[in-house]
Amino acid sequence: MDKEITQLENTSTWELTELPADRKPIKCKWVLKVKRDHTGAITCYKGRLVTKGFSQIPSIDFTETFAPVVQLETFWTLIAIAARYKLDIHTMDIVGAYLNGKLNKTIYMEQPPGYEDGTNHVYRLHHPLYGLKQSGAIWNKKLNSEFISLGFTRLIADQCVYIQ
């Protein structure tokens, strides 16, 4: 949990502020996971801070929520092509992926459980967190703009596939 808080603070995900009288903060919670290796031995403990996005108010807290997901047929086709031509396949995990986007709505969140400072202050979010309804859409826009800037073109048939 400390690592997660440190990452959120290092990326300027929020700022501590007073809650405006006309707003209600979104609650948050910790999702804790035990990571294990192939033998079942514990390799690490992971804590992720997520918002309770179900309490968001449409038009006030968010407008757009759509983010494309790769079609299963596309995935199978790409695997088949790679196998046929003996191509290497690489994957990557972007740690804190949602933190790369910028919120376009003002969202206030309660202080995380176990990390309260004893005041009634809340966090004004600058970057999306997991659980917000618009997080996937914001991340998709950011990822798309980066691929476009690198000279890739997004396929019309499957918006999760880019070609160069």
- Sequential pLDDT tens for the chain (164 residues): 999 999 999 999 999 999 999 999 999 999 999 999 999 999 999 999 999 999 998 988 899 999 999 999 999 999 999 999 999 998 888 878 888 899 999 999 999 999 999 999 999 999 999 999 999 999 999 999 999 999 999 999 999 999 98
Are the C-beta atoms of residues 88 and 113 closer than 8 Å to each other? Answer: no
pLDDT at position 90 = 87
Q: How many domains does the chain have?
A: 1
Cα 163–Cα 139–Cα 90 angle in degrees, nearest 5: 45
34 is in which domain, residue-wise?
2-163
> What pTM value is reported for the model?
0.83
The two three-digit tokens of residue 13, written as one number: 């995900």
